[in-house]
Amino acid sequence: MSNRISYARLVGALAAMALALGGAASARTLGDGEAAITGVSPKQAMAGQLVIISGTHLDGTRAVTFGKVGSQSVRVDPNGMWVRAVVPAGVPAGSLYITLDNSGNPVSVGPFQILAGSVPAAANPAPAANAKVTGGVSAKVVRPPQIKGLSPASGPVGSKVIITGAQLGGAQWVKFGGVRGQVNSSNATTVVALVPKNAHSGKITLHTASGGTTVSGQSFRVVKRTGV
């Protein structure tokens, strides 16, 4: 009886040892050379801005996708410590995940906030062959223009429309239903524009030199001039 108990204990001990060794081996294999993302800078961006994804073993990155739209400008650190990507045009505003195709293995981070509007695509030069890790790359955060109100909400061709909001200074153009109108004046919170000939009812699009383009949430209705 005692021999049976001793044999059972021996078998149990050997099985436990095998499981422990197997678990340790698999843990070592899983951790070696696996791509990992540790941070993203800036925390939010709009189309055209440069985003830096930091991490380890990222040198196998072949593509970067923002939601479902792939970036057309991707640079990879030879040391595998960062990936730079320009937010592509066509990405909808809102929260999404950034996904790196790392040698066929997807690695994602998020949610990442896409701001409304766009800026000209940022420069994204290739890193030098002997590039050294210097703690990452900084990126300037650009605040897009915001349209909060239209006054009046309707009017005939040639009438003035006051557009209120934020970051509106330096407005370069305004479109009424896709037709460009004249900008009479602009400051940080107000733009005065004229309804252009052939304007269509619809949302107003506004573009500033520093913040890019935005679209109003409210529609403007073009009406016929009365009392002529």
For tokens 């792939």, what's the residue? Answer: 70
- pLDDT mean over 198-216: 87
DSSP one-letter string for 122-172 = PP-PPPPTT----S-------PPPEEEEEESSEE-TT-EEEEEEES-TTEE
Joined tokens for residue 137: 């790359």
The residue among 194, 191, 200 whose CA lies nearest residue 223 is 200
- Look up the pTM and report it: 0.49
pLDDT at 33: 67
pLDDT in tens, 45-92: 889 999 999 999 999 999 999 999 999 999 999 989 999 999 999 899
pLDDT surpassing 80 at residue 129 = no
Q: What are phi and psi of 124, to 5 degrees?
A: -140, 70
- pLDDT mean over 115-134: 73
